[in-house]
A and B are shown apart, each in its own frame.
Chain A
Amino acid sequence: MDTFLQLIIAGVSTGSIYGLVALAFLIIYNTTSIVNFAQGEFVMVGAMMAFFGVALSEFGYISTFLIIVGSMFVLAQLFKFILVSPLQKRGSSIFHIIIGTIAFGTVLTEGMGLLLGKQIYGVRPLMGREPLYFGNLSILPENLTTIVVSFVLVLVVWYFFHYTMTGKSLRAVGINPEGAQVSGINVARMTIIGFTLSALVSGIGGMMIAPISGASPYIGLPIAVKGFAAAILGGMGNIYAGMIGGLIIGVAESFANYYISSYAQAIAYGIMLLMLFVKPTGLFPEKS
């Protein structure tokens, strides 16, 4: 029984990372219809900045957090003004922009490698290193912070989209850009807000995973793949469902690793494929 619960705890903590990436990915998808293949690299930038702040410069986590927020803000601007806007001005289709995001991600990876180095770097965790015990169960502090932060972020994003004027306008842009424009919403300003929000979520995700598995310019893609799988499982049309998708994949992986170890790696891909065949709209399609 303890093993069972312990496996669930492990699954929830990795799942919340996948869910966070899915959340960031779905914010962009649902506000602009862009599938951002550089999402994993956004997370990587967060992780590398955590390494830069906490390990390299020996700042505290608060200053590091501000550095991450700052760099993710800059990153969102670059994404918009170097990639998306010039392509839109030329009248490129959405697919061109999507391919562009792959290039953008590669540039981020190599750029970060040039800037901070190409090795795998360790970052000390925020809450100390002593495992926390609850009866017979235990969790590493960095995993607990990841779970808490992920759920808080989902709530914040949900609140933003449903209870703030900007959030509601952003949703309107996602549903019908022309209609939103006609209603007097500044679409260009809204997209940049969407990108910034997504970048911030990714950056914080990166800060969470750096103490767990290390920071390197090359961690983006594997994380992104799990995030995409989570988003597809939850439903591409539903921003928050990615978190549920992430948790399902995380827990499934955790159990598969324990009971059928050699096939565990196929879980995320298997779930993704199955969903595409059976229910491409995901488990929780947005009700419209």
Chain B
Amino acid sequence: MRGKLSIYLFMLMGILVLFLSACNGGEAEESGTNSDSETEAGTINIGFVGPLSGGSATMGIPAQNGMELAVEEINDAGGINGKMIELMARDDEADPAKSTTIAQQLSTEEEIVAVLGGPNSGPALANSEVFAKYEIPNMISIAQNDNLLDPEKSSFATTFAMSENNTYDVRAIVEFMKSQGYENIGVIVDDSAYGQGALESIETVLDEEGIGIIEKVEHPVGAQSLSSQALKLKNAEGIDAVYVVTLGNDAALFVKTADQVGLDLPILGGRGLNMSSFIDLAGDATEGVILPTIMDPDKPEAQAYIQAYDAKYGEDNDPAHVFSVLGYDAVKLLAEGLKITEGKGGVELAEALETITDFETVSGGIDHTASYSPDKHVAPNENFIIFNTVKDGEFVKVE
């Protein structure tokens, strides 16, 4: 019996490993507004590859919604030279391998003129190689790893980003830290590409700016407990503030655990905190947390956008509107390029995008505009980031 049980349990382990390796993959699911592969005469097809299921769907779905909203506005206004834009959304479940396969399929089987990238840096990096091979302009909407746009690589010519990268965010928050007089900080990041990429940027920038990192701790995505991490930060001497770069639900568990174990330090966060699960899960413990955002409530365009978005998708779908607005602006930027090429894609569109300067965006601060040039493929100027805090369970701007 004992021998049989052990064979049995080894099998169990084997299946488990298989299952685990498949967990990021899951089954092939294509969700999209149009899975119809036929191209209707007179439409311009734009692809979107992003996570519409899995943990990152909290960013991917709002991004898709923002894109749909922009497409709808453009089409209502007559489209591009009378041609309607059609968004072909594909779910990559934040899995780089799956993202690459989808990129291949979109590039060869669908007539897309351009593609929009999602929030995850791993998949965005992987699929940009494929799109570059087929010379399909690729507009990455949310992902912000520093290595997404590398002028040394051949994919640079056709790869663009709507959002700024990690280093830009970290520099903005370092300015904030300096203004508050923080000299030494503690850092908590998750073990995903997002957290690890951010950690690299944080270490580089803080070193340059002379702010010390006394303690850095890590945790798995979807942690059940962050007590050890909070205690470690609490017991580290001389920390002025804690910088949290993880996603909403993990950040929520961290701030309430910090509150519980008596870690009474100011908490600053990454853009990943802009989720409703952050406030829903942690309640009062989120009060006073500082986080970078790209929606300025004082900007009329932003107000109009928030109204339109909430009316269509509900207030809780993307409470800070950070993820959806990048999808929205990414489509608007692509459309600007398509107006120049009269709906043509390929290298022509990439070159057209490089000529866009001072394009008004909904995202960013009051003076923010988007510009590209042959050497600059990230859209934002220096006024992209503003800071939010949490007050009475709502995200409000820090004046």
Question: Interface on A for B, CB 8 Å cutoff?
Answer: 3, 6-7, 9-11, 13-14, 17, 35, 37, 55, 95, 98-99, 102, 106, 109-110, 113, 118-124, 129, 131, 138-140, 209, 211-214, 216-219, 221-223, 225, 228, 232, 236-237, 250, 253-258, 261-262, 264-265, 272-273, 276, 280-281
Query: Which of B235, B276, B277 has the most chain A CB atoms closer than 10 A to its own CB?
Result: B277
Q: Are A120 and B12 interface neighbours, CB within 8 A?
A: no
Q: Are B253 and A106 interface neighbours, CB within 8 A?
A: no
Nearest Cβ in chain A — how far from B189, in angstroms?
11
Q: Which one, B9, B232, B282, contacts A236 given CB within 8 A?
A: B9
Report 21 cross-chain contacts, Cβ distance below 8 Å, ordered by A residue: A3-B235, A7-B227, A9-B227, A10-B225, A10-B227, A10-B228, A102-B15, A106-B26, A110-B27, A118-B53, A120-B248, A124-B280, A138-B261, A213-B224, A218-B53, A250-B225, A257-B217, A257-B229, A258-B232, A261-B229, A276-B10
Q: Which one, A225, A253, A261, contacts B20 given CB within 8 A?
A: A225
**B19 CB-CB contact with A under 8 Å:** yes
Q: Are A254 and B228 interface neighbours, CB within 8 A?
A: yes
Q: Are B16 and A131 interface neighbours, CB within 8 A?
A: no
Contact residue range for chain B? 35 or more
Q: Are A122 and B277 interface neighbours, CB within 8 A?
A: yes
A residues within 8 A CB of B224? Answer: 14, 17, 209, 212-213, 223
**B339 CB-CB contact with A under 8 Å:** no
Q: Which one, B23, B228, B262, B279, contacts A138 given CB within 8 A?
A: B262
**Considering the complex, which residues of chain B in the window 220-265 have a beta carbon less than 8 Å from any beta carbon of chain A?**
220, 222-225, 227-229, 231-232, 235, 247-250, 252-253, 256-257, 259-262
Distance between Cα atoms of A55 and B276 in the complex (Å)? 12
Nearest Cβ in chain A — how far from B237, in angstroms?
14
Nearest Cβ in chain A — how far from B324, in angstroms?
13
**Interface segment, one of B55-63, B144-152, B200-208:** B55-63
**B285 CB-CB contact with A under 8 Å:** yes
The chain A residue sitting closest to B216, CB to CB, is A261
Q: Are A113 and B53 interface neighbours, CB within 8 A?
A: yes
B residues within 8 A CB of A6? Answer: 227, 231, 261
The chain B residue sitting closest to A276, CB to CB, is B9
The chain B residue sitting closest to A257, CB to CB, is B228
Q: Mark B303-332, 1 if CB is under 8 A from A, else 0.
A: 000000000000000000000000000000
**B6 CB-CB contact with A under 8 Å:** yes
B residues within 8 A CB of A131? Answer: 256, 259-260
Distance between Cα atoms of A17 and B275 in the complex (Å)? 25
Q: A122-B276, A272-B13 are in contact. List 12 more A-B contacts (CB 8 A).
A: A6-B261, A102-B19, A119-B57, A119-B58, A120-B275, A129-B283, A138-B260, A138-B261, A213-B253, A253-B225, A258-B232, A281-B2
Given A118-B53, A119-B57, A281-B5, verify A211-B281 contact (CB < 8 Å): yes
Distance between Cα atoms of A106 and B260 in the complex (Å)? 36
B residues within 8 A CB of A254? Answer: 225, 227-228
B residues within 8 A CB of A138? Answer: 260-262
Q: Are B55 and A120 interface neighbours, CB within 8 A?
A: yes
A residues within 8 A CB of B257? Answer: 140
Q: Are B191 and A265 interface neighbours, CB within 8 A?
A: yes
**B219 CB-CB contact with A under 8 Å:** yes
Given A129-B285, A218-B55, A280-B6, verify A261-B217 contact (CB < 8 Å): yes
B residues within 8 A CB of A265? Answer: 191, 220
3 smallest CB-CB distances across A and B, nearest first, come from A122-B280, A10-B227, A257-B228
Q: Are A55 and B54 interface neighbours, CB within 8 A?
A: no
Q: Are B227 and A261 interface neighbours, CB within 8 A?
A: no
Distance between Cα atoms of A213 and B223 in the complex (Å)? 7
Q: Are A214 and B249 interface neighbours, CB within 8 A?
A: yes
Distance between Cα atoms of A22 and B52 in the complex (Å)? 31
Distance between Cα atoms of A211 and B229 in the complex (Å)? 19
Nearest Cβ in chain B — how far from A204, in angstroms?
16
**Considering the complex, which residues of chain B in the window 1-39 have a beta carbon less than 8 Å from any beta carbon of chain A?**
2, 5-6, 9-13, 15-16, 19-20, 23, 26-27, 29
Q: Are A120 and B249 interface neighbours, CB within 8 A?
A: yes
Query: Which of A10, A110, A124 has the most chain B CB atoms closer than 10 A to its own CB?
Result: A10
Q: Which one, A99, A118, A264, contacts B54 given CB within 8 A?
A: A118
B residues within 8 A CB of A219? Answer: 222
**B284 CB-CB contact with A under 8 Å:** yes
Given A222-B222, A254-B225, A272-B13, verify A122-B279 contact (CB < 8 Å): yes
The chain B residue sitting closest to A280, CB to CB, is B6
B residues within 8 A CB of A9? Answer: 227
Distance between Cα atoms of A110 and B220 in the complex (Å)? 23
Q: Are A232 and B220 interface neighbours, CB within 8 A?
A: no
Distance between Cα atoms of A173 and B75 in the complex (Å)? 65
Distance between Cα atoms of A217 and B250 in the complex (Å)? 16
The chain A residue sitting closest to B27, CB to CB, is A106
Q: Are B280 and A55 interface neighbours, CB within 8 A?
A: yes
